[in-house]
Structure 1
Amino acid sequence: MAPFYQLTATSLHGQPVSMADFAGKLVLVVNTASRCGFTPQYAGLEALYKKYAAQGLVVLGFPCNQFGSQEPGGVDEITQTCHINYGVSFPIFEKVEVNGAATHPVFRYLKEQLPGVLGGRIKWNFTKFLIGRDGKPLKRFAPFTTPEKLEPVIVAALTV
């Protein structure tokens, strides 16, 4: 079993979720924030999810407050932003840290596999990681890479 599938995270509403639940799917992991200039990317992420879910794409959102305190709220505020403001239907997890000593294991693993230009650190909200159907990390995308720009890469990975 791929190391990614051995990881777990806690859903926004406190339920443990095994990444093994997504085995065989193309997974897009994103660190998110409700008060960020990139927050409108939620709409594009949701559009990708709706368009390609039947073909095996799943988007996983992980709120993070480490960049400019742009995710200060709790479950209710995150729910308001994701579900009500942007219509997000893909899984959202509890708030995590993506850098430093308390880095969530999902992000620790992804940064080790796809270090990026900052020596493994995540630069800002809405950094994206694409994980293949086999659980192997494929590609890392910068925050300014919009969901729409990811579509060709997603389509190619879905058809492999």
Structure 2
Amino acid sequence: MQCAYDFSMPGLEGGTVDFAAWRGKPLLIVNTASKCGFTPQYEGLQALWSEMDRELIVIGVPSNDFGDQEPGGGKEIATFCSRNYGVSFPMTEKAHVRGRDATPLFRWLAEQGGFLARPRWNFFKYLIDRQGRLTNWFSSISSPDSRRVREAAARLVLDH
């Protein structure tokens, strides 16, 4: 059976984001965009990444699928995220996250989470447990600073 650690994607600034490198650690996968009303959520994602001492691996997947809100290339996205939000968590290159062109990772997430888990806008969040299984997902309106997201993430970090 396939799990989240079976995926890899090209990195935002080259190289590969290989999810197998984090086998045994919980993941928070988020489809992101730089010109969205939810873009300030980068700050909360960075806080989770830092506060959970990299025991929760936050992975950003930039996408231009919703409202053309991620028009830039890799270098532009990386500069924006670093300069404006201090993002230091791993990010993949821009990818499709919905429809028939969706990257295999997001097809798998949709299959695991069902119809409602398919991203309907930027900043959908997917929590993966230490076995690589999708355990929870949150829509765009659930901020990474919200109690729901923080408590769900903390449970996975503490669950050894």
Normalising by structure 2, what TM-score? 0.93
The aligned residue for residue 139 of structure 1 is 136
SS in 1 for 2:119: coil
Query: Equivalent residues in 2 for 1:1-160 (5 A)?
Result: 2-54=2-54, 56-117=55-116, 121-149=118-146, 150-160=149-159
In the TM superposition, what is the alpha-carbon distance from 1:7 to its structure 2 partner?
1.3
Q: Give the AA of the match of 2:143.
A: T
In the TM superposition, what is the alpha-carbon distance from 1:2 to its structure 2 partner?
4.9
Aligned identity (percent) is: 43
SS in 2 for 1:69: coil
Q: Is 1:27–1:59's contact at 8 Å kept on the other side of the alignment?
A: yes
Q: Give the AA of the match of 1:100.
A: G
Q: Deviations over 1:86-110 (max 9, x none)?
A: 0000001100001112101111111
Number of residues paired by the alignment? 157
- Bigger shift: residues 148-157 or 22-31: 148-157
Query: For the residues of structure 2 that align with 1:80 and 1:17, how far apart are their CA atoms?
Result: 18
Query: For the residues of structure 1 that align with 2:133 and 2:118, how far apart are their CA atoms?
Result: 19
In the TM superposition, what is the alpha-carbon distance from 1:156 to its structure 2 partner?
1.4
Q: Which runs of 4+ in 1 moved over 6 A?
A: none
Q: Is 1:116–1:140's contact at 8 Å kept on the other side of the alignment?
A: no
Q: Is 1:128–1:142's contact at 8 Å kept on the other side of the alignment?
A: yes
The CA RMSD over aligned residues, in Å, is 1.4
In the TM superposition, what is the alpha-carbon distance from 1:75 to its structure 2 partner?
1.6
Normalising by structure 1, what TM-score? 0.93
